Amino acid sequence: MAKVREEQDFGDLDLIPIMNLVLILIPLLLLSVVFLEITVINVTMPQKSLGAAANAGEPPKRLQLMVSKEGFWIIQGERAMPTIPECQGRGSQVTICLRDAEAKEPIDRYDWLMLYNTLLSIKGDAMWSDHEQLEVVAGADISFGVIVKAMDTSRFQRVPPGNEDASKGTSFSKPEDLYDSTVVQIEGTDEETGATGLRSLGLFPLVVLGLPTTQ
């Protein structure tokens, strides 16, 4: 006589432990996600100057800031500025030498205080007082952070905190004074919108990425 197999009742599948595991894994996966922050820097392409056409035989004014591993070169027209007194005797031929060549971070090696003070002195020269464009030139071996810092340092005139009523920027004697400074605000009219109000006083506000001058 054939035996009849009894059907076994396994019951319903318990999904609660699996769901609990998924709920635990979701926050862990979110914490491990790396978010990419994209920053946009407004730069202006160099424009053709009409200076040569207006003044026959005179080349257009051109101010360049060249960033190298040794420091900063500042080129006025076709001539490089001489080495500042603070860097003379160090065997360097750049305009502004490094502040700390042994610093771990590349951005900390450069003398941003002397760069700002030197550009401010150029702005005070009658020949360059109405000049607004500065070409920043850097090689492939210069870090992106150094280039951005050079552009930011060159854009606006600054004053110590508490001098918001100043009409022009001042030089600084210590790096921390420059870091704590504020941008000079003056009354002006926006050329695009025609609106009147406070605006930042430019040092060389039209900072562009340029090509080096042929020596």
pLDDT: which is higher, 213 or 119: 119
Q: What is the pLDDT of residue 215?
A: 45
Q: How far apart are CA 129 and CA 118, in angstroms?
A: 13
Q: What is the pLDDT of residue 52?
A: 41
* 148-166: burial string, b at 16+ Cβ within 10 Å, e else: ebbbebbbbbbbeeeeeeb
What is the pLDDT confidence band of residue 214, given thresholds at 50, 70 and 90? very low
What is the pLDDT confidence band of residue 164, given thresholds at 50, 70 and 90? confident
Model-level pTM greater than 0.85? Answer: no
All structural domains of the chain with their residue ranges: 62-157+204-209
